A and B are shown apart, each in its own frame.
Chain A
């Protein structure tokens, strides 16, 4: 069955530490891949997206993600986390011929001072 999995429900990191949020997908073909962030009271905001080509994608706010076809993964990373990064992060996928974007369950990020 087609699915998007974010294995980590909640992650806590110290400010200044590095971050990696995991995302795995299960689709027959490689879908288009997205990472969104949702802060309390705010709408979801796109961080980055991957369609094809270079497997390392740069996004806004210092985030990057790497697509690994062999692992069906699209993990989000940031070298140094800031307190303002505390939010909920969603991985999402879309297929070329389908308008139904599917989201993972999300990973809540807490940043310790």
Chain B
């Protein structure tokens, strides 16, 4: 098992463009999380999947953001019409268990987005 992987690791885009990030969780992990981390801050929760169902979304996730997890495997996070304020590190994590709050979340290395 190689852990959680994310692609790309870095993305530079111009304001107004759309970007899509991919996360491959640890195989058989049923839960998948997306976080955003800005400089000098801890990760902030964006959204959460249990298998293929998106169960929770943060108020941080504006309507320009959409996430999917088809077939309960990998997940994508798309940002439409990017803004400079979207520049951040986007982290993905996965976990397995019965009680989400108790589970260890395994994090990927993140995708660093810079919007010019």
Contacts and interface: CB of A to CB of B under 8 A. Distances in A.
| A and B together in one complex | yes
Contacts of A28: none
A41 B10 CA distance: 11
Interface in B89-108: 91, 93, 99-102, 104-108
Interface in B41-87: 41-45, 48, 55-56, 58
A44 B105 CA distance: 9
B8 interface: no
Interface string A1-42: 000100001000000000000000000000010001000011
Nearest to A94: B101
A90 B43 contact: yes
Interface of A: 4, 9, 32, 36, 41-46, 49, 51, 90, 92, 94-106
B45 A105 contact: no
Contact of A98 (B101, B105, B107): B101
Given A43-B110, A44-B91, A90-B43, A101 B105 contact: yes
Given A43-B93, A99-B101, 7 more contacts: A44-B43, A45-B107, A46-B105, A98-B101, A99-B100, A104-B42, A105-B40
Contacts, number: 67
B41 to A, nearest CB: 5
Contact of A100 (B31, B40, B45, B106): B45
Interface of B: 3-4, 31, 33, 40-45, 48, 55-56, 58, 91, 93, 99-102, 104-110
Contacts of B3: 43
B42 A99 contact: no
B40 to A, nearest CB: 7
A28 to B, nearest CB: 15
Contacts of B104: 46, 49
Given A44-B43, A103-B44, A97 B109 contact: no
A43 B42 contact: no
Nearest to B4: A43
B101 A43 contact: no
A102 B45 contact: yes
Contact of A95 (B33, B44, B91, B101): B101
